[in-house]
Structure 1
């Protein structure tokens, strides 16, 4: 089954007065939908838009694998393990909250910041928090989240280029930019697809512009 979810159907959140806009693909905070709590290991897929100087003050996380992909701008990250980093487009940031960690996320730059943040459920609770940034990850290079039993594939497709999606029990596709076709469905930026127990599915970039995709390969819940 291929279940397409449109960008316009995401739950809206954030705090406009503080320069924060949020768009949630799953139940999140006050937006509760018992039929939309997770898909595979994924608990959240949030698009965050921060104005210059805006950000999320120090807050806690636990028992969550948090992966962040910057679309435009620069994300400043600091956490209670003492790490501080600047995350830019093309970087994969991974924070394993494990038994508990606190962090700050801000736009300290002069330009608007847009990033996609995805939360995954761990296979087992507890442990020590860890943090990593892969700068400029190469196209088609998978990034493994062993604590969640998941692989992230980042794909950048030129017009008419196609890529085979994993033949896995659960596959989640998020269109970062551009337009793609999944069988008879066309998806644009912000759209996503939840693919369950399908094989031989391809994503094809359509239109005159390149497409950028985040593809999660998951064994199950």
Structure 2
């Protein structure tokens, strides 16, 4: 039958946050007060949230459990502190991974002087674990896969030059999010903030950069 692709535009995302506190949020899936029974998840992915924090703004300490959380900074610097004692600053090109397991609390803030934009993606684990784990890879190289085995998922980051092509991984579920630039996927043009949900990809789906572009691609098993 071939791959089935469902394109979701940036303008279709749910809006949230607290603009008065310097927080703006865009949600790709049902999240918080924004509930759509037909848009709860795709594969293991249950959230792909774009957060915009003004300098000095942030999220005070709050809990997570039984969630695999991957964060990608688009611009600015994200300061992370959690209940295990870890503190880190995440910048563009870095991948941050927090496996909440049975429970962890953390703080996320923009302690820098410039606006902060980051994507935070939540995945459901396939196997419950008790101890939280944390990892940061600084300056992740292009085309270097980042595996999240507890969710049966792998993140691929592609930075493409205009005209460059890349094959979408063959997997039961593939989620493509355009961070910046413009790409073509089949007959669809995808721009910054657009996403595509692909089912049944068999290595015959291709992305082509129309302009210079940065794209996140989640490869997820059934």
Category of TM-score, reference length = shorter chain: over 0.9
- Are residue 5 (structure 1) and residue 8 (structure 2) matched? yes
1:125 Cα deviation from its structure 2 partner: 2.3
1:124 Cα deviation from its structure 2 partner: 1.9
1:5 Cα deviation from its structure 2 partner: 0.2
User: Counterparts of 1:143-162 in structure 2 under 5 Å?
Assistant: 143-162=146-165
Maintained 8 Å contact 2:174/2:220: yes
1-side partners of 2:135 and 2:210: how far apart?
33
- Are residue 19 (structure 1) and residue 22 (structure 2) matched? yes
Query: Per the alignment, in what secondary structure is the counterpart of residue 17 of structure 1?
Result: helix
Runs of 4+ displaced beyond 3 Å: none
Deviations 1:72-127 (A, max 9, x none): 00000000000000000000000000000000000000000000000000002232
Deviations 1:126-165 (A, max 9, x none): 3200101000000000000011010000000000000001
2-side partners of 1:36 and 1:205: how far apart?
28
Query: Per the alignment, in what secondary structure is the counterpart of residue 171 of structure 2?
Result: coil
2-side partners of 1:169 and 1:126: how far apart?
24
Query: Per the alignment, in what secondary structure is the counterpart of residue 197 of structure 1?
Result: strand
2-side partners of 1:8 and 1:125: how far apart?
35
User: Counterparts of 1:11-50 in structure 2 under 5 Å?
Assistant: 11-50=14-53
- Are residue 128 (structure 1) and residue 131 (structure 2) matched? yes
1-side partners of 2:35 and 2:140: how far apart?
34
* TM-score where L is the length of structure 2: 0.97
1:54 Cα deviation from its structure 2 partner: 0.2
1-side partners of 2:57 and 2:127: how far apart?
34
User: Counterparts of 1:102-141 in structure 2 under 5 Å?
Assistant: 102-141=105-144
Which of 170, 179, 182 matches 2:182? 179
Unaligned runs of 5+ in 2: none
- Are residue 205 (structure 1) and residue 209 (structure 2) matched? yes
Partner in structure 1 of residue 65 of structure 2: 62
Maintained 8 Å contact 2:168/2:201: no
What is the RMSD computed on CA atoms of the aligned residues? 0.6
